[in-house]
Structure 1
Amino acid sequence: MRLGFVGTGNITEAIVTGLCTSSTPPGEIWVSPRNREKADSLASNYRGVVNVANANQTVLDNCDVVFLAILPQHKEEILPSLVFREDHIVVHLLAGTTIPEMVPLVKPAWRIVRAVPLPCTAIHVGPIAVFPDHEVVSSLFDPLGTVIAVDEEAKLETLAIITALLAPYYAMVETVVNWGEKQGIDRKDAASYTASMFGALSVIAQSRADGDLATLKKECMTPGGLNALAMEIIDSKGGFENIIPALEAVKEKVS
């Protein structure tokens, strides 16, 4: 199956890297020339698989599945000039843009799947939200992480909002690492230990099929213990409720 990418930014780079380094790499990928440096880098890294098109239309002419990875504010500028085929499967990655909004921009193509991949798809980990579920699209994403197919587009939009916490998460980890370094720990060791600890906690949380994270929190807090003390201090300073206004602000921005 031939894949094409209109838009060659960070997410395209991550998806293509993940696909090409998976156990079942695609036979042919076409990327648009808009970001020439990234496009040429991908073609150089994955010779014989990744091809740099001379125009966006060339991408569409040479693919069966087309990933739209352009900035949402550019969709009216770029998409109307492209000629889609009825047999195209369109994977749309544009933030804040619903499938009904995309329909007139990609017709006569009618199979449209909206997806929210993350940069970590490059190393085959992390969630990939999709709507609606589609066998071909899910099979492409399966090697790149955990595919979460939702039954309503509104649910996908909520999951997409949560991705705005990538930078805050790294900021939290950085804060811990900075503190460790000030205590005399080598920065690399502090970063490795902290990231590994949070990674392990995420694996445990993901294993809870019922989503009961409150129980996990309680299990970590021995009365009078260190975790209980840390939780008490954090709660007294406003706790993690400060995350909610951030999520609401992102929701308003993409609505």
Structure 2
Amino acid sequence: MKRIGLIGVGEIGRAIVLGLCDGGGVSPSYEVFLSPRGARTAAELSARFDGVRVCADNQEVVDRSEVVIIAVPGPNRHEALAGLAVDGDKTVVNVMSGVSNDEMRRILATEAALVRAIPLPTARERRSVTVTFPSHPVVDALFELLGGVQPVADEAAFDVYSALTGTLTTHYWYLATLTSWAVDQGIAADDAERYVRSLFQGVGRSLSDETRSLSRLAAEHESPQGNNERIRTTWFDPANAAALGKALDGLLADLKRPSRAEERRLG
């Protein structure tokens, strides 16, 4: 049995626990230890599932666990991790955006194996394909259970995937904007939202067919001079596409750059 510890039980930490506890109890292969950070969520998960326990502090999480997942907000990392003693036989999984393995090793002052990962909220449904770097057999097996794993060759590639996750809420706001437009045309809000959700749930189902490329899927949903082609070419035009690329370039540059606090410390 693998003992998994989570320091930070926010949205991603909770999703990981829910995924491991699919079916009402933690997977037989794992035992889970939670930090008291996010006390309400940690207590709720512990009360709900066998095999999930809340520890007195972060050090107890580390001491009880073989694999320690760091899931605190990035800006809180120094406060949350200060003074932790992490033995070299542990494996540390860092799911904080923009925090490199080199920085984690400096913060923790440990020789433990360090792995970065990008689990998504859909881990709670075991539907998150999680990017990892470097590949690690125990960590990859954990995320394979939660929907799949996609190891990458280096940290530069990892940062590209991390930037892509920054587009998720933009998609939701796109759908909300479509709904608002329909409401402005006199459609009842509940009816508009129900229809928009239905439209894009269908898109989601079509994405599960990996035999067709994204460009092919788009072409199959579009006819020459049809409604879809009109909106794509008049709204998502080359300038719009370039603006999206520029926004992603800026995010990627920031993800590759150490935080200002870390730059000051190293300088």
* TM-score, normalized by the shorter chain, greater than 0.5: yes
In 1, the alpha carbon distance for the partners of 2:23 and 2:143 equals 10
| Alpha-carbon shift at residue 174 of structure 1 (Å) | 0.9
Aligned partners of 1:11 and 1:117 also within 8 Å: yes
For residues 68-97 of structure 1, the C-alpha deviation after alignment (integer angstroms, 9 at most, x for no partner) is: 112223333333411112221111112111
SS at structure 2 position matched to 1:51: strand
Equivalences for residues 62-81 of structure 1 within 5 A: 62-81=64-83
1:142 and 2:144 are equivalent in the alignment: yes
| Alpha-carbon shift at residue 28 of structure 1 (Å) | 2.1
1:224 and 2:225 are equivalent in the alignment: yes
For residues 110-136 of structure 1, the C-alpha deviation after alignment (integer angstroms, 9 at most, x for no partner) is: 321110111121122233111112221
The size of the alignment, in residue pairs, is 253
In 1, the alpha carbon distance for the partners of 2:146 and 2:190 equals 27
Unpaired stretches in structure 1, ≥5 consecutive residues: none
Q: Which of 122, 125, 128 pairs up with 2:124?
A: 122
Unpaired stretches in structure 2, ≥5 consecutive residues: 258-267
Equivalences for residues 43-62 of structure 1 within 5 A: 43-46=46-49, 48-62=50-64
Percent identity between matched residues is 30
Moved more, 3-12 or 216-225: 216-225
Quote the residue 2:34 is aligned against. 31
AA of the residue aligned to 2:34:
V
In 2, the alpha carbon distance for the partners of 1:172 and 1:190 equals 14
Equivalences for residues 96-115 of structure 1 within 5 A: 96-115=98-117
1:15 and 2:16 are equivalent in the alignment: yes
In 2, the alpha carbon distance for the partners of 1:146 and 1:201 equals 21
In 2, the alpha carbon distance for the partners of 1:192 and 1:143 equals 32
In 2, the alpha carbon distance for the partners of 1:181 and 1:33 equals 44
| Alpha-carbon shift at residue 63 of structure 1 (Å) | 0.9
What is the alpha-carbon root mean square deviation over aligned residues? 2.5
In 2, the alpha carbon distance for the partners of 1:45 and 1:230 equals 47
Superposed structure 1 runs of 4+ greater than 6 Å apart: none
In 1, the alpha carbon distance for the partners of 2:27 and 2:201 equals 27
AA of the residue aligned to 2:129:
P
Q: Which of 171, 174, 185 pairs up with 1:172?
A: 174
In 1, the alpha carbon distance for the partners of 2:168 and 2:72 equals 20
Quote the residue 2:242 is aligned against. 241
Q: 1:94 to 1:200 in 2, by over 3 A?
A: same
AA of the residue aligned to 1:56:
N
| Alpha-carbon shift at residue 62 of structure 1 (Å) | 1.0
Q: 1:44 to 1:139 in 2, by over 3 A?
A: same
For residues 188-236 of structure 1, the C-alpha deviation after alignment (integer angstroms, 9 at most, x for no partner) is: 45434433432432443453468x4333323332112121222232145
AA of the residue aligned to 1:49:
G
Q: 1:206 to 1:244 in 2, by over 3 A?
A: farther
1:191 and 2:199 are equivalent in the alignment: no
| Alpha-carbon shift at residue 2 of structure 1 (Å) | 1.1
Quote the residue 1:200 is aligned against. 202
| Alpha-carbon shift at residue 21 of structure 1 (Å) | 1.4
In 1, the alpha carbon distance for the partners of 2:125 and 2:84 equals 32
In 2, the alpha carbon distance for the partners of 1:195 and 1:163 equals 21
In 2, the alpha carbon distance for the partners of 1:98 and 1:200 equals 37
| Alpha-carbon shift at residue 25 of structure 1 (Å) | 1.6
Moved more, 54-63 or 109-118: 109-118
Q: 1:239 to 1:218 in 2, by over 3 A?
A: farther
